Structure 1
Amino acid sequence: MTHDDGEFRYDSVAVSENWARLHAGDAEPLPEDPAVLEAWTLFHNGHFHQAAKAGLHAGGAGITVANKATCLYANYLEKREKVRLELFMEVAERARAQAADHPDNANAHYWLAYALGRYSQGISVAKALAQGLGTRVKETLETTIRLEPRHADAHVALAAFQAEVIDKVGALIGGMTYGARKDASLKLFHQGLQLHPESAIALIEYANGLVMLEGDDMILEATRLYEQAAISRPADAAERLAVALARAELDDG
């Protein structure tokens, strides 16, 4: 549960100094607890398993580190689908409890939404919508943005959610049943990228969303966005995973 080839060698001081850039996506506040900061240092260097363990051991704000490390490992590195889904549900349970204990913690809500969203993609979006997971994801992302308007990742995730719903059930049912609208999705993508223009994953999600919302006419623009993501400069091991994904998709295409 690691993705470290030595490219990133942050210590806790360097993480603190680069905190604004490293957390431009999730707007997580700089932790006061040195143990939580150390967990984040492990995370940014790509030691996801150790970061998750350290975060859980620290407790409090450390739960967020554990949830992010587990989600990114599951999303990018775990090859076994059953294990991936189990990890997402593990995070969902932890984040649900964290959000109940700390309802003003934006990232408790965000990682609940992220885990449920990725789980939904794993079992099929249509099946997840039938189980009511779509409404939960949407409401939880909206809560995240309400609590932290600078949360770039939540803007992008909510945009991607709406695009997927429209793609799967159509604009009419998507709008009536889930409040998914094309104009709202595109606006959220733009807001997310304004908040964090260096985000490779935001560029990837926007590219995918454009094709879902506008069809094959946007394939050239989507390819341009993937190319932009592929040459972006990652700030840590987690961002490098998104850049690698963009490059792999371009190679396959």
Structure 2
Amino acid sequence: MAQWNPFPHPGAYAFDAASLKKNWARLHRGDCEALPADAAVLKAWVLFHNGEFQQAAEAGLKADGAGITVANKATCIYANYLEHKEKTKLDLFLQTVERAEAQQAADPKNANAWYWQAYALGRYSQGISVAKALAQGLGTRVKEALEQTIRLSPRHADAHIALAVFHAEVIDKVGALIGSMTYGARKDTGLAFFREALALNPGSAIAMTEYANGMVMLEGDKRMKEATGLYEQAAASEPMDAMERLDVDMARVKLQD
């Protein structure tokens, strides 16, 4: 594995197994991942929450089983926020898709096996262009995997965010009529998923940021004031770990655009 770029706030987070267990419910309110019984998997999660994404991915792969979820999350968060080379980023997303599909085959009731497949495919689709991805049938795969995630884990806030983004981006690219008829994308459904995500995970910077993005995509400049308010709330929120810090950093960048 080539050397990954470092987390830009080194030393900002210093979880250990005990403090992670204490804060697990809050940190995993978005993905509803269960606290692992395996010490090796827990150690991989410690690395993840401290921003040591490459080490977390390697430790998760080595632990196998539930460790694959750590590896997939670490890979996706790293690729989305910190990898600068487009080809490398896309390759990392495709590797995640492959691992998640194998995880689904072994454990079809694992909600996050479906979620990380969808997330990685969704980000890959954004990288190659949403229109191109839709033409390749990737949109349908993303939607179905997210719907399966929510069936298995109804309180999975992150899956609600991602499904809302799917509806918003499809309508933004192909219009409401084709979006609805061909891909099952609807404005009201997308906005409802955004609201549900925030209800399930109040104060989530990524939920607020994506809701703001989606609001403008679906309803235009008339919602810009509300969107800006959401960006401001996200930017002012207090991150608890490395991933949340990256989410907040992104919201701050949005405010500067």
TM-score interval for Structure 1 and Structure 2 normalised by the shorter chain: over 0.9
Corresponding position: 1:150 with 2:167: no
For 2:225, the equivalent position in structure 1 comes to 220
- 1:196 is matched with which residue: 187, 190, 201? 201
**Aligned residues with identical type, % of pairs:** 68
For 2:76, the equivalent position in structure 1 comes to 71
Q: 2:203, 2:242 → 1: CA distance?
A: 14
Q: Deviations over 1:193-231 (max 9, x none)?
A: 001012111111000000011011111111111111000
Q: 1:48, 1:122 → 2: CA distance?
A: 21
Q: 2:48, 2:131 → 1: CA distance?
A: 33
For 1:229, the equivalent position in structure 2 comes to 234
Aligned alpha-carbon RMSD (Å): 0.7
AA partner of residue 227 (structure 1): E
Q: Deviations over 1:107-164 (max 9, x none)?
A: 0000000000000000000000000000000000000000000100000100010000
Q: 1:23, 1:142 → 2: CA distance?
A: 19
Q: Structure 2: which 5+ residue stretches go unaligned?
A: none
Q: 1:7, 1:225 → 2: CA distance?
A: 25
For 2:253, the equivalent position in structure 1 comes to 248
Per the alignment, in what secondary structure is the counterpart of residue 30 of structure 2?
Answer: coil
Corresponding position: 1:178 with 2:183: yes
Corresponding position: 1:20 with 2:12: no
Equivalences, count: 252
TM-score normalised by the chain length of structure 2: 0.97
TM-score normalised by the chain length of structure 1: 0.98
Corresponding position: 1:102 with 2:117: no
Q: 2:16, 2:168 → 1: CA distance?
A: 39
Deviation >2 Å, runs of 4+: none
Q: Structure 1: which 5+ residue stretches go unaligned?
A: none
Q: 2:226, 2:68 → 1: CA distance?
A: 38
Shift of 1:19: 0.4
